[in-house]
Amino acid sequence: TDKQGYRHYMMKEIFFQPDAISKTLKGRITKDQVITKEFGESADLIFSKTECIKIVACGTSYHAGLIAAYWMEKVANIHCQVEIASEYRYRKSVILDNTLFVAVSQSGETADTLAALRTAKDAGYLSTLVICNVDESSLTRDSALCFLTHAGTEIGVASTKAFTSQLAVFALLALHIKKNNMQNIDYAKDTIFQSLFEMQQTMRRILKNSKKFEEVAHSLRDAKSIFYIGRGPMYPLALEGALKLKEITYKHCEGYAAGELKHGPLALIEDDIPVIALAPYDENFLKILSNIQEIKARNGKIILISDSKGVDKAKKYCDQTIVLPNTNFVTSAILYSLPVQLIAYHLAVLLGTDVDQPRNLAKSVTVE
C-alpha cells in the first residue's frame, strides 16, 4: 500500500490497471468460454433462469452498471435496468419474473447500496449477486452470489482500477449469461474473448503514450466548464469522465449523450467550454461525427478520443485528437477509461488540488 515511486496513489492505481485486469480475468476465461466454477452449480442454475437483470449502485460503480446494461442487452440479449441505490431503496419498484438483482460496489460498504440489497432480498428477485472488490465486506456477506473483482486495495478516492475491473467482471457475466440463453444473438463472441485476452497488453500500450493526455489536460486548464459526450457505452463513460473531473479538479463538467446536445447544451457551446468526444469508429461513429460538426459550427473546441480510422475521418473538425487502439463493443469502455482517468489526473495536478483526498469526499460512504 505504499506509492511505489508514484507521486499519487491515483497515478499508481491507473498504471496498475493492466495487472488488475489480468487478476480479474485470471482463471475465469478460456479462449471461448467463461469459467464459473467458483460460484458452484446453484449459480449456473440461476444464470440459466435469468431473464432480466436489475443493477443497483452508487457513483462510479453506477456508471459501470450503466455501461454493462448496453452489453447485457446486445451481447446477452437480456433485459437490463440500472438504478442509483439511493433512489431504488426509497421507491416502490415492479420486479419482472426471473430478475437477477446485482449490486455493484468497490468497497462493499456503501450505505445506500447495502440498504438496496437488503430491500431486494425479500422483494421477490430470482437471486442476488454482488460485484465487489472487498471480500468479507457487508455486501458480500449479505448476497447469495458474489463476483470479486480482485483489483487490489484502492486508496485514491476517485475510483480507477476498481472501475475497470468491475467492467471486466460485467463483460464475463454478459458472455456467460449469453451462453445459457437460447434466444441470444451471436454477437462477435470470438472478437470479444480475444480482446479480453489481449487487454493487459493493450492497456500497457495506451499507458506508455500517456504524454498526450497531459497535453490535453494543459489545454483544459482555463476552461470555464467542460463537456464529455459519447453514444452507446461511451455515453455512461462520458458521465464517468465528467465525474472524475468534478471529483479531483473541482471543475464543472457534464457528461452527455451526444444525441441530446441539441436539446439544451448546444446553447452553452463557446470556445472556453471544450467538448471531449469519446468516439471509437463503430456503428455510432457517423452520428457522433455530425454532433462534432454541430459543435464546430458554433465555434466550440473539440478534443476527439478515437481510433486511427475515426481520427482520420474527423480530424479536420477537431482541435486535438488522441488515437487509441481498435476496440469492440465491449472492450471500448474499458480501454477508453484510461484517457478519461489520466486527463482528470493531470488536470488536477496542474490545478494543485488534493488528488488522492479531494475536499468533501470520502472513499467509502457508510452513512446516508
Q: Which residues here bind ligand G6P, judged by CB under 6 A?
A: 58-61, 105-107, 110, 113, 157-159, 361, 363-365
Using CA atoms, how far apart are residues 25 and 199, in angstroms rounded to an integer? 10
Residue 102 Cβ, how far from ligand G6P at the closest point, in Å? 13
Q: Looking at beta carbons only, is 110 or 321 nearer to ligand G6P?
A: 110
When CB distances to ligand G6P are compared, the closest residue is 59
Residue 44 Cβ, how far from ligand G6P at the closest point, in Å? 27
Residue 139 Cβ, how far from ligand G6P at the closest point, in Å? 8
Residue 191 Cβ, how far from ligand G6P at the closest point, in Å? 29
Q: Which three cell numbers stand for residue 181?
A: 440463453
Q: Looking at beta carbons only, is 9 or 285 nearer to ligand G6P?
A: 9
Q: Looking at beta carbons only, is 24 or 284 nearer to ligand G6P?
A: 24
Q: Looking at beta carbons only, is 292 or 334 nearer to ligand G6P?
A: 334
Residue 111 Cβ, how far from ligand G6P at the closest point, in Å? 9
Q: Looking at beta carbons only, is 231 or 246 nearer to ligand G6P?
A: 246
Residue 85 Cβ, how far from ligand G6P at the closest point, in Å? 8
Q: Looking at beta carbons only, is 123 or 361 nearer to ligand G6P?
A: 361
